[in-house]
């Protein structure tokens, strides 16, 4: 699955266009490397998102095309 779509489906970032912009600005790292929005994401990857002065680090546990709002947090765990 594409990185921007995973960020939206997992609800780490609210909209896919915002996820695209964050990736283009270099604020999203996958496995400690800057990632483009089209980068593939798989279980076991570590994603770091820089929100202003705060960093969010998560590990991908599962990749699904669609999930309900209540189940979105089961796709990742915070590090």
Smallest Cα–Cα separation from 61: which of 9, 15, 4, 19?
A: 9
Closest Cα partner for 76 from 34, 37, 46?
46
Tens digits of pLDDT across the chain (79 residues)? 999 999 999 999 999 999 999 999 999 999 999 999 999 999 999 999 999 899 999 999 999 999 999 999 999 999 9
pTM above 0.85, yes or no: yes
CA distance 54 to 36: 20
Cα 76-38-5 angle, rounded to 5 deg: 45
Neighbours of 23 (CB within 10 A): 24
- Give the position of tokens 């680090």: 57
């Amino acid at each position: 699955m594409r990185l921007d779509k995973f960020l939206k489906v997992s609800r780490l970032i609210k909209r896919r266009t915002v996820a695209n912009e964050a990736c283009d600005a270099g604020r999203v790292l996958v496995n400690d490397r800057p990632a483009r929005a089209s980068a593939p994401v798989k279980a076991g990857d570590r994603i770091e998102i820089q929100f202003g002065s705060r960093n969010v680090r998560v590990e991908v546990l599962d990749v699904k095309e669609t999930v309900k709002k209540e189940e979105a947090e089961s796709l990742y765990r915070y590090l």
